[in-house]
Amino acid sequence: MGASLRYLSQKFTMVTTEAKATLNDIATEEFAHSEMMATIFHQLTQGLTKDEIINSGLDTYYVNHGLGVYPVSASGVPFGACAFQSKGDPIADLYEDLAADGTTAKEQRSRKAA
């Protein structure tokens, strides 16, 4: 969720149309990942009995959301916009993207050279 919103927000300050299109495509792909996770959650919880909900530890989630899909962390913290950054500076934003993906600029240059 954070990745998709990060790329979608950052595309507006990119300098070239190619960079904007690339970030838009990445954001769309990341949204697809969110949709896949929501589908898996829905399929795994569909038709659960009361005892199965309690035994699985989903009872507190169920009280608030039923079996609706609601993005939360494993500890139950709802998704928030603080999960991503958009500075409005293309270079800063791209470095943030690399950091969020766990990749350094040096690693990116090494991959490109290979």
Domains of the chain by start residue, with CATH = 2-109 (1.20.1260.10)
CB neighbour class for 36 (10 Å; exposed up to 12, middle 13-18, buried from 19): exposed
> Per residue of the chain (114 residues), what is the pLDDT tens digit?
888 888 898 999 999 999 999 999 999 998 898 889 889 988 988 888 889 988 988 888 888 887 778 888 777 788 877 767 778 888 888 888 778 777 655 665 666 666
pTM as predicted: 0.66
Helix (H, G, I), strand (E, B) or coil at 68: coil
CA pair distance 51, 13, nearest whole angstrom = 50
* CA neighbor of 2 nearest in space, from 36, 33, 39: 33
Number of C-alpha atoms within 13 angstroms, CB side, residue 53? 15
Cα(75)–Cα(58) distance, integer angstroms: 11
